[in-house]
Structure 1
Amino acid sequence: MTEDKACSPPPLSLPGLFIRFLRFGCLAFGGPVAQIAMIRQALVEEEHWLSSQRFNRLLAVMQILPGPEAHELCVHMGMMARGRLGGFLAGLGFMLPGFVLMLLCAFAYVRFVAGVGAFDGALLGVQLAVLGVIARAVQRIAVHILVDRMLILLAAISATATLAGLPFWGPLLATGLVYACVRSLPLAGVLVIGLCVGGWLILPHGGMPLPAEAVRATAAGAVALFLTGLKGGLLTFGGAYTAIPYVRHDTVGRGWISDGAFLDGVALAGTLPAPLVIFGTFVGYVAGGWAGAIAVTAGIFLPAFAFSMIFFERLEAVVENALLHRFLDGVGAAVVGTIVATLLQLGASTFARTEDWAFAILLVGASLFAAWRLKGKWVTPAIVASGAAIGWAVWR
């Protein structure tokens, strides 16, 4: 406690605070681990905004709440310095560079790349390479979430339910409640299977249709895209990759964007200085233009702002709530299963666009191996660039 009191943010004007976090946003390459390390180095170790112990407690809270952890930390730090307006400006500054860059990328993609035959091979190579990157991300997430046999079972049931077309909230709610309240593995399995089968029988359902190959099949409204982003933002547990299935379900599944264009957006997001959920900006632009890009971005980042700004004084107490932890652990298992199912659906759609399955499998395997073995901020951009070069050489 004494150390916490000895640390405090320096006096900053609101414009100065915004510029401080805008600088962080311009340097936010390399994913959440690199982003959090950058924030810790600058604000904890060098400027002593707060103690290392309190930073660790805050990080633990952010990791169990939905939303990009690095962005939520920036909002929280901004509130420490200048209240809720400071938190808003800090979060806005951190996300703004990635948002602007992704908007420019989406504009160039729709205007100059999509539908141009000369780029088809390169784009297919990128999409196959990204499948390997996502597979590696699933493994990383699963290692931290699926820590016992019950959670593994719940993830498998969630994947099966997703492939069967059960509404997304069914597995999330069922697995969260079961893991929070039931310790018996056989009984948990029976309960979740019963809930999933019952929901599948009662509610409208149907497997995810494979989309048309057009980049944009039908126009999407700004309100619908905002709600799509909001769903993704609220269900981002354990890393931004967990938003992928929910945003895909509401956009690819409605014919607003093709699976290929969706994967291209994920690939671009991995190369920009921004949280990976910035792929929502790309999806929104392709589906609904400038208004769609703003709508999805607003929805997907709203929870990251709201949890810190509304519950600022109470966030650290969340760490002590064991029952909530177990519920969120169960939800996390369902999310892992949903990502696995989505990866299979994306793979089926991507492989359907090539007859050379052997080489496509080799490219996915090579990108997975590279993502698994190599470390550094440059790995994902290098995998994406390599996939584009190989795809252009093989399928031009």
Structure 2
Amino acid sequence: MIEPVLSRSSSPPPISLPALFGQFLRFGCAAFGGPVAQIAMVRAALVDQQGWISKERFNRLLAVFQVLPGPEAHELCVHLGMIARGRLGGVLAGLGFMLPGLVLMMVAGWLYTSVVSGIAGIGGVLLGVQIVVLAIIARAVVRIGQHIIEDRLLAAIAVAGLAAALAGLPFWITLAAAGACYALWARPALVALVLAGAAALALLLRGAASADPIAVAQAPATVLALFVAGLKGGLLTFGGAYTAIPYVRADTVGRGWLSDATFLDGVAIAGVLPAPLVIFATFTGYVAGGPVGALAITAGMFLPAFAFSLLFFERLEAVVENPALHRLLAVVAAAVVGIIAATLFELAAATAPRVTQPPVGLVLFAVGLVAAWRLKGLWVPILLIALGAAAGALLPI
């Protein structure tokens, strides 16, 4: 039997809608350090101190949201707001949690496009930051893979996802093929047929693209296109916010709306703001389409995080308890790990030609990677980005 959303051994104290919004707005202002720190903050305040729900219920919610796409800290806030004051409470909680990061990123986008781009000598500073961000992404790929790749089959799927992405196979073909291969694993002939069909479809799409090679690059950055780019990222962020990077990059950098260097700058800025990391999409939307474009891509990115709790949670909770679905999601997530790794290589390949002193660039990357690997704490992303900026300002890179 499905546990009703409002069934719990603990219950939130009476709280007005303005007070509820203020509570989650405070969480949003202090949301530094990524999802682990954000979830710990919410747990300490609403579970341990105020007793909104029991620890067991909180852990169950967290487990459900961790296997679904979207920023899990934001999804938890939406759901807890709904527990307190219904669906309107969920909307206000979600808005409060994301609003500080959204406002700060809008300001950052304006400063970047209006001020930073015109500062003489800023290129070296930004290049140093971009190299360090590559190290942070490399560490994230390993961290995500450690949680997802649990056996040789999943490892093989991740490698296949990496190879497919580097070969230019559209991500949706890779994910669909991975799910189909899992479902048909006991029938090798059908698995081979799926793989052959995916390869043929990829060749067909590549042929169509080569017939009109500038069609995608010349596609305008309309409000609808930016919204869809964000929605795609929001629906496919399995395993953490870094999994949104390849999808948003494909629909922004891939269409010529901004460069890889600018894209990496957005990821760097998102890493030091009090917000879910997927707020980097707001930056790309601002660069590509101004304030309206930033709001459009942000709406698409966060829409699934609102929708899962507000509309579908009761049914999703029952479905996610199905062990077969757990395995299917693990297979899809393994393919995503490979896609992220391929994006890392592509970003590195785009950054490398701008590095005039490769030994210095490699040392900076290595130092950033070791620091990201060994150090822990909310201050680590800020430290690493400051290190990259200082190196870029003081050293020839």
Match of 1:313 in 2: 314
For 2:157, the equivalent position in structure 1 comes to 154
Distance 1:324 1:37 in 2: 27
**For residue 27 of structure 2, what is the amino acid of its counterpart?**
F
User: Where does residue 272 of structure 2 map in the other structure?
Assistant: 271
Aligned mates of 2:349, 2:191 — CA distance in 1: 28
Percent pairwise identity: 61
C-alpha displacement of 1:193: 3.9
For 1:234-274, what per-residue CA distance to the aligned partner results, in whole angstroms no more than 9, with x for missing partners?
A: 01011000000000001001110110010000001010000
User: What's 2:299 paired with?
Assistant: 298
Pair 254,41 (structure 1): closer, same or farther in 2 beyond 3 Å: same
Matched, 1:202 2:204: yes
- Residues 216-235 of structure 1 correspond to what in structure 2 (within 5 A)? 220-235=221-236
- Select between 353-362 and 29-38 the one with higher mean Cα deviation: 353-362
The amino acid that maps onto 1:321 is N
Once structures 1 and 2 are overlaid, which stretch shifts more, 293-302 or 187-196? 187-196
Q: Of 81, 88, 96, which aligns to 1:93?
A: 96
Change over 3 Å in CA distance of 1:183–1:78 after alignment to 2: farther
Give the Å deviation of 1:202. 2.4
In structure 2, relative to structure 1, the CA distance for the partners of 1:116 and 1:57 (3 Å cut) is same
Q: Secondary structure at the match of 1:107?
A: helix
Q: Find the counterpart in structure 2 of residue 112 from structure 1.
A: 115
Confirm or deny: 8 A CA contact 1:233 1:302 kept in the other structure. yes
Normalised by the length of structure 1, the TM-score is: 0.93
- Cα distance in structure 2, aligned partners of 1:189 and 1:349: 35
Whether the 8 Å CA contact 2:357–2:396 is kept in 1: the answer is: no
User: Contact conserved, 1:178 with 1:330, CA < 8 A, in 2?
Assistant: no
Residue 39 of structure 1: aligned partner:
42
CA distance in structure 1 between the partners assigned to 2:338 and 2:383 by the alignment: 28
CA distance in 1, matches of 2:190, 2:11: 47
* CA shift digits 1:120-162 (9 cap, x unpaired): 0000000000000000000000001111111111111111111
How far the C-alpha of 1:319 sits from its partner, in A, is 3.5
RMSD after superposition: 2.1
Given the alignment, which residue of 177, 181, 185 partners 1:178?
181
Distance 1:147 1:387 in 2: 34
Which residue identity does 2:228 align to in structure 1?
L
In the alignment, which residue of structure 1 is the partner of 2:241? Answer: 240
Secondary structure in 2 aligned to 1:336? helix
2:359 is equivalent to residue 365 of structure 1: no
Q: In structure 1, what is the Cα distance between the partners aligned to 2:315 and 2:14?
A: 24
What is aligned with 1:28?
Answer: 31
Other-structure match for 1:125: 128
Using a 3 Å threshold, how does the CA distance of structure 1 residues 9 and 195 change in structure 2: closer, same or farther? farther
1:348 aligned residue: 349
Find out whether 1:10 has 2:13 as its counterpart.
yes
**Where does the alignment leave 5 or more consecutive residues of structure 2 unmatched?**
211-216
Is contact 1:76-1:87 (8 Å) kept?
yes
Deviation for aligned residue 1:46: 0.9
Contact 1:57/1:316, CA 8 A, preserved across alignment: no
Distance 1:192 1:136 in 2: 32
Q: How far 1:180 sits from its partner (Å)?
A: 3.9
| Cα pair 2:226 2:285 within 8 Å, conserved | yes
**d(CA) in 2 for partners of 1:380 and 1:273?**
12
Gaps of 5+ in 1: 208-215
The one-letter code matched in structure 1 to 2:294 is A
